[in-house]
Amino acid sequence: MIKRDFLSLQSRSFDLLVVGGGIYGAWAAYDAALRGLSVAIVEQGDWAGATSSASSKLVHGGLRYLETFDFKLVRKALHERQMLLEAAPHRVWPLRFGVPVYEDSRIGTMQMWAGLNLYDFFAGNLSHDLSHHHYNSSEFAGRFPFLAAEHLKSGFTYTDAQTDDARMVLELVAGAAAGGAACVNYCRLEELILEDGRACGARVRGQLAGSSAEIRARQIVNATGRWAATAGEGREWCRLSKGVHLVMVGPAPESALLLTAKSDGRVFFIIPWYGVTLLGTTDTDYSGDPEQVQVEPGEIEYLLAEANHYLKTAWTEKDVIGGFAGLRVMKRSHDSSPSAVSRDWEMKTSADGVHYSIGGKLTSAREDAAHIVDAVCAQLNVGTPCLTWGKRFPWAPEAGYAAWLDAALRRATELGIDPESAKWLVRRHGKRAGEILCNVENNRSLAERIIPTLPFIQADLIFCARNEMVVHLSDLLRRRLPLLILARVDEGLLQRIAAMVAPLLGWNEAEVKEEVCSCLAQVQEKNL
Ligand X SMILES: Cc1cc2nc3c(=O)[nH]c(=O)nc-3n(C[C@H](O)[C@H](O)[C@H](O)COP(=O)(O)OP(=O)(O)OC[C@H]3O[C@@H](n4cnc5c(N)ncnc54)[C@H](O)[C@@H]3O)c2cc1C
**DSSP secondary structure string for all residues of 241-285:** EEEEEEEE-SPPPSSEEEEE-TTT--EEEEEEETTEEEEE---EE
Shortest Å distance, C-beta 49 to ligand X = 5
Shortest Å distance, C-beta 198 to ligand X = 19
Segment interacting with ligand X, rule: CB under 6 A, options 136-144, 355-363, 449-457, 461-469: 355-363
Q: How far apart are CA 412 and CA 409, in angstroms?
A: 5
Largest pairwise CA distance in the chain: 71
What string marks each residue from 235 to 264 as x (binds ligand X by CB under 6 A) or -?
A: --------x---------------------
Shortest Å distance, C-beta 106 to ligand X = 21
**Which residue lies nearer to ligand X by CB, 138 or 211?**
211
Neighbours of 346 (CB within 10 A): 17
Indicate which single residue of 6, 16, 17, 24 sits in contact with ligand X (rule: CB under 6 A): 24
Closest among 257, 244, 73, 268 to 160, alpha carbons compared: 257
**Which residue lies nearer to ligand X by CB, 170 or 362?**
362
What string marks each residue from 149 to 168 as x (binds ligand X by CB under 6 A) or -?
A: --------------------
**Which residue lies nearer to ligand X by CB, 95 or 440?**
95
Indicate which single residue of 91, 96, 361, 432 sits in contact with ligand X (rule: CB under 6 A): 361
3-state DSSP percent of the chain in helix, strand and coil, to 5: 40, 25, 35
Segment interacting with ligand X, rule: CB under 6 A, options 22-30, 84-92, 105-113, 424-432: 22-30
- Examine residue 344 and tell whether it contacts ligand X (CB under 6 A): no
The footprint of ligand X on residues 264-323 (CB under 6 A) is: 281
Q: What are phi and psi of 153, to 5 degrees?
A: -95, -45
Four-residue CA torsion sign, 233, 235, 236, 241: positive
Give the number of residues in contact with ligand X, rule: CB under 6 A. 38
What separation, in Å, do the N-terminal and C-terminal C-alpha atoms of the chain show?
26
In angstroms, the Cα distances linking 35 to 69, 123, 200, 382, 387 are 35, 28, 21, 9, 7
Triad 487, 303, 133: Cα angle to 5°? 95
Indicate which single residue of 2, 9, 16, 19 sits in contact with ligand X (rule: CB under 6 A): 19
Q: What are phi and psi of 328, to 5 degrees?
A: -85, 140
Indicate which single residue of 15, 16, 17, 25 sits in contact with ligand X (rule: CB under 6 A): 25
Indicate which single residue of 18, 20, 79, 248 sits in contact with ligand X (rule: CB under 6 A): 20
The footprint of ligand X on residues 372-431 (CB under 6 A) is: none
Closest among 67, 32, 352, 22 to 182, alpha carbons compared: 32
Indicate which single residue of 159, 284, 363, 388 sits in contact with ligand X (rule: CB under 6 A): 363
Shortest Å distance, C-beta 402 to ligand X = 26
Triad 281, 283, 308: Cα angle to 5°? 45
Indicate which single residue of 91, 96, 132, 226 sits in contact with ligand X (rule: CB under 6 A): 226
Q: How far apart are CA 293 and CA 271, in angstroms?
A: 22
Shortest Å distance, C-beta 204 to ligand X = 7
Q: How far apart are CA 89 and CA 404, in angstroms?
A: 11
**Which residue lies nearer to ligand X by CB, 156 or 186?**
186
- Provide the 8-state DSSP code for 10: S
Indicate which single residue of 32, 37, 39, 42 sits in contact with ligand X (rule: CB under 6 A): 42
The footprint of ligand X on residues 51-110 (CB under 6 A) is: 51-52, 54-58, 60
- Examine residue 185 and tell whether it contacts ligand X (CB under 6 A): no
- Examine residue 458 and tell whether it contacts ligand X (CB under 6 A): no
Q: Would you state the torsion angle of the CA atoms of residues 264, 266, 270, 273, taken in this order, to the nearest 10 degrees?
A: -130
Is residue 117 a contact partner of residue 188, using CB atoms and an 8 Å limit? no
Shortest Å distance, C-beta 264 to ligand X = 16
- Examine residue 467 and tell whether it contacts ligand X (CB under 6 A): no
Closest among 10, 472, 509 to 207, alpha carbons compared: 472
- Examine residue 175 and tell whether it contacts ligand X (CB under 6 A): no
H or E segment and range at residue 329: strand 320-331
Shortest Å distance, C-beta 327 to ligand X = 6
The footprint of ligand X on residues 189-208 (CB under 6 A) is: 189
Indicate which single residue of 2, 17, 41, 44 sits in contact with ligand X (rule: CB under 6 A): 44
Q: How far apart are CA 112 and CA 398, in angstroms?
A: 39
**Which residue lies nearer to ligand X by CB, 135 or 273?**
273
- Examine residue 338 and tell whether it contacts ligand X (CB under 6 A): no
Contact set with ligand X (CB under 6 A): 19-25, 42-45, 49-52, 54-58, 60, 188-189, 223-227, 243, 281, 326-328, 357, 360-363
